[in-house]
């Protein structure tokens, strides 16, 4: 294969739509711009949400109330059965979970160990939160659960 043999894949190239080439072309008269008015003019653009001068919907509806989403604690869930990949007696902390690919998420998110599945090894687990069943299952095998405080996000100036 040489450069002169290269061709685009079939169907990837489209013919340019030739506007204003007579009525029988299907793109004559108004050239696909509909009737008259602001949108038929050249250089015309209307911003998103503009309703022709009428008070836009986004400004008509009331904006009240409080949303707690900005202040909510975001947890990355890690199921108990996925901790079986660590060696018996290992220390499983945030760094180990991230390195193993079990806690991939936003940088400021905390890690919560959930009780889904069964654990077969004695582990010393350090995380931001534990579900009741996860804590029970880890401690039943002689492991320990240590809760660490979440690092606060830096204050915005």
Q: Residue 99 domain-assigned?
A: yes
Task: Write down the residue that tokens 């998103």 correspond to.
Answer: 48
- Residue-wise DSSP of 70-95: GGSPPEEEEEGGGGGGSPTT-EE-HH
Give the pLDDT confidence score for residue 104 in this predicted structure: 87
Confidence (pLDDT) at 74: 87
Give φ, ψ of 66 to 5 degrees.
-125, 140
Domain residues for the domain of 124 are 72-147
Q: How many domains does the chain have?
A: 1
> Which residues fall within 8 angstroms of residue 137, CB to CB, at 6 or more apart?
80, 115, 118, 119
Q: Is residue 32 part of a domain?
A: no
Listed as ranges, residues in the chain with pLDDT below 70 are 151-157
The gap from C-alpha 114 to its chain's centroid, in whole angstroms, comes to: 22
14-58 per-position pLDDT tens digit: 999 999 999 999 999 999 999 999 999 999 899 999 999 999 999
d(CA 148, CA 96): 15
Is residue 91 one of the residues assigned to a domain? yes
Q: Is residue 154 part of a domain?
A: no
Q: Is residue 52 part of a domain?
A: no
38 belongs to a structural domain: no
DSSP 48: T
Residue 151: the pLDDT is: 63
Q: Answer whether residue 33 is part of any domain.
A: no
In a domain, 17, yes or no: no
CATH code for the domain in which residue 139 is found: 3.100.10.10
CA dist 102 and 32 (Å) reads 53
Which pLDDT belongs to residue 1? 86
């Amino acid at each position: 294969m040489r450069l002169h043999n290269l061709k685009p894949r079939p169907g990837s190239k489209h013919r340019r739509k030739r506007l204003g080439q007579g009525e029988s072309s299907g793109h004559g008269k108004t050239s696909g711009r509909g009737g008259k008015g602001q949108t038929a003019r050249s250089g015309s653009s209307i911003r998103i949400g503009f309703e022709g001068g009428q008070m836009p919907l986004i400004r008509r509806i009331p904006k009240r109330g409080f949303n707690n989403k900005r202040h909510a604690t975001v947890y990355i869930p890690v199921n108990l059965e996925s901790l079986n990949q660590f060696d018996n007696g290992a220390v499983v902390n945030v760094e180990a979970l991230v390195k193993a690919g079990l806690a991939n998420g936003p940088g400021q998110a905390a890690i919560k160990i959930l009780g889904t599945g069964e654990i077969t090894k004695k582990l010393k687990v350090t995380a931001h939160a534990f579900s009741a069943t996860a804590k029970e299952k880890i401690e039943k095998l002689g492991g320990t659960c240590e809760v660490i405080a979440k690092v606060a996000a830096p204050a915005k100036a």
